[in-house]
Every structure is written in structure tokens, then in C-alpha cells.
Amino acid sequence: MTQSNYFVDRGMNGNTPALPSRADESFVDYVCEARNTLLHARWKQMGDHGNETLKKHDIKIEHSADCVEQVRDVIAGDMELASFMRIKRSYQEIYKDRIIGSINTQRDDWLRKLDEAETTGPGSLTYDPDFPMPDYAKVQIHIQPRGYVGDDLAGLYYDCGTQIFFGGNNAGDAWHRELAERTALPEDGKVDRILEIGCSVGQLACELKKRNTDAEVWATDISAPMVRYGHWRAIQQDLDVNFAQMASEALEFPDNHFDLVTAHILFHEIPRPVIEKTLAEALRVLRPGGTFVLWDFSSASDEKPGYGGFLGLMDSADNGEPYAPGFVTMEVEKNHRGYGLCYSVYW
């Protein structure tokens, strides 16, 4: 589908490589703007309409992970909701398709760059070609073809896609910079070691490093393509960040090791038993008095349904978030307020 013909290095857009051709980039920009306009303009209205429609059908969505199928049926029977979700999903498919097609016109160059970066610093890279990948991590999340682990360039695809799924607000990693600014540090001020789990391409870990220049920073992810690309990306910014392939539920660090542990939009993308193990691991490696900062969708609480009710559940049913219902109904904020800070970024 790609129209790319220009095999040239077009430089960087902030910390993200420009797509190989101007035609691809303007196409993706257009899709991004169209998608964001649609979502921002109609999100609340569609949410209200969806919630009313569910009420009419006597379907209760609060605190229930098993209502996704019912929600899907209701949408299929309502032309307005069905068109909204169809267009939203189509935009997602179209931009992913174009980004991936475009990047693959330079696939060999990219594979070579990633290989070369492996022995380059600053920072380090550790991964295992024989890593025992659990089945749950092989699924296609966010409709990214071959998922996070099934393509050597998955990290680069993901990076180029962040412009769009962060609502066009992540130029130069602005989104992650703001998160780093808002990340609460330990009260005693000691920040010698920082860990980000589920880092994908390391945008938050890198912004935390910029704010805590003397700290040793680790960025871990279960996906080798993510940490390999994240390492390359950090080198471009001359940042000493250590990338390692590691499952969040089996962290290879000693007890009480880190002053700060963060996870940004990891939890809604792992199954509930893995969330439980990850929470325990995050606490194990955190020193007494350290902070654990979790950024994610709203989980359920007494005050509100998780993940924005109807549209959240629909998004997980229709937009490649198979594990989100498990997370947003588990009352993370209420149950875990004691040991860390929990913010809701989106809803």
C-alpha cells in the first residue's frame, strides 16, 4: 500500500525518525489529525449516547469484565455508535499500515542500525534471542501487526505510532516529559536508581534520566524489538539509560534496589494474574520509602466505573486491548493507595 520511493534518511522529528518519504508522512499526519478531531469532537457525546443505549437495554457495565460482548452487540445495533467505532478503528488500521509499509522500504538499513547500536553507548542493552515468551505477550495489541514482539522493527513502528495514539500530543516526547515532571520522587529526596517497567521505546525512562542526571536508570520490557530500538533511540539523545528485556512479573533485580519504580500504560495490557505478580515484584525491588508510580487508565473504584464506562469497554473490545477489562475492574487505586501513588492519565 505504501507509496514510498525515496530511500533517503529524512532525519528526525524530535526524538522520532521521520518516515522515509514526505508523501507517507503527510498521509499519516492527515490520518492523525482526522482521527483526533473525530475522537475529541465526538467522544463525550458518543459516551453519553452509548451509556444511555446500554441503560435502555438494561445492561450494567460498572465493575464487570464480562460485558464486552454485550456492549459489542448493542453497538452493532446502533448505526451512530457502529459508524463511530468503525471509523475510529479504520483510522488506526490505515495509519499503522502506512507507517509499517513506509519503514519497510528501509528495513535492511534499520536492521543494520540496530545491530550496530548493540555494542555502542552511552547506556547498555541486554536481551536474549531465546527468551521464553509467554503466549499472552504474543497477541496483537492496538492492532499493531505482529504485535510488540513479532517483528524486529516493532519498536520503530510503535514510536512512529505514538504521535497518533497520544492524540497528537507527543511531539518531541512532550507527553512523557510532562509525566516525568509529575512523577513523585521519594520524600527523602534520594534518587540513585530508577526503574521503568514495560518501557517499550523508553520515552519515560529517558525523560526521567534528563531530570535525574546522576541516577542510574533502567528501562525494561518483555519485547526484544522494543528494548533494542529504545537503546538506539537513547543513544541518539546521548542518554546513559540501561535497556533490558525482562518480564515485569519476574524482575531480575535484588530486593530494595530502586528509589523509584514507574509503569506507564503497562498494566491494562497484561492479564490480571500477571498484574498481581507485577505489583508484588515492583514492591519487592523498591526500597523502603521509595515511590512506585503507576500511570494508567482508571481502575474501578467506589466512585466511578473503570476506564470511562461504555467507550472504554468498547475500545478494549474493538481496538485491540484484550486485557484492559481485567485491569479496569480490579480496583487498583483503592487497594494499592497505601504503597505508592496511582494516577489516572486518561479517564
Give 74 or 154: the residue with its C-beta nearer to ligand SAM.
Answer: 154
Binding residues among 203-262 for ligand SAM as defined by CB under 6 A: 203-204, 221-223, 226, 247-249
Burial of 152 (0-12, 13-18, 19+ CB in 10 A): middle
Should residue 266 be labelled a site residue for ligand SAM when binding is judged by CB under 6 A? yes
Give yes or no for a contact between 185 and 260, defined as CB atoms under 8 angstroms apart: yes
- 308 vs 294: CA distance, rounded Å: 18
Give 190 or 210: the residue with its C-beta nearer to ligand SAM.
Answer: 210
Work out how close the CB of 166 gets to ligand SAM at its nearest, in angstroms, rounded to a whole number: 8
Give 149 or 317: the residue with its C-beta nearer to ligand SAM.
Answer: 149
Burial of 218 (0-12, 13-18, 19+ CB in 10 A): buried
Should residue 329 be labelled a site residue for ligand SAM when binding is judged by CB under 6 A? no
State the sign of the Cα–Cα–Cα–Cα dihedral 213, 232, 257, 259: positive
Work out how close the CB of 155 gets to ligand SAM at its nearest, in angstroms, rounded to a whole number: 8
Q: Chain-centre distance of CA 8, in angstroms?
A: 29
Give 27 or 158: the residue with its C-beta nearer to ligand SAM.
Answer: 158
Give 99 or 226: the residue with its C-beta nearer to ligand SAM.
Answer: 226
Binding residues among 69-108 for ligand SAM as defined by CB under 6 A: none
Give 94 or 133: the residue with its C-beta nearer to ligand SAM.
Answer: 133
Give 46 or 226: the residue with its C-beta nearer to ligand SAM.
Answer: 226
HSE-CB of 3 using CA atoms within 13 angstroms: 8
Should residue 318 be labelled a site residue for ligand SAM when binding is judged by CB under 6 A? no
- Binding mask 141-160 vs ligand SAM (x if CB under 6 A, - otherwise)? -------x------------
Should residue 137 be labelled a site residue for ligand SAM when binding is judged by CB under 6 A? yes
Give yes or no for a contact between 297 and 263, defined as CB atoms under 8 angstroms apart: no
Give yes or no for a contact between 205 and 199, defined as CB atoms under 8 angstroms apart: yes
Give the DSSP per-residue string, 61-90: -TT-GGGHHHHHHHHHT-HHHHHHHHHHHH
Work out how close the CB of 202 gets to ligand SAM at its nearest, in angstroms, rounded to a whole number: 8
Binding residues among 170-209 for ligand SAM as defined by CB under 6 A: 176, 197-200, 203-204
Should residue 274 be labelled a site residue for ligand SAM when binding is judged by CB under 6 A? yes
Should residue 67 be labelled a site residue for ligand SAM when binding is judged by CB under 6 A? no
For residue 113, the tally of other CB atoms under 10 A from its CB is: 15
Q: Chain-centre distance of CA 266, in angstroms?
A: 6
DSSP state of 250: S
Residue numbers at the binding site for ligand SAM (CB under 6 A): 137, 148, 176, 197-200, 203-204, 221-223, 226, 247-249, 264-266, 269-270, 274
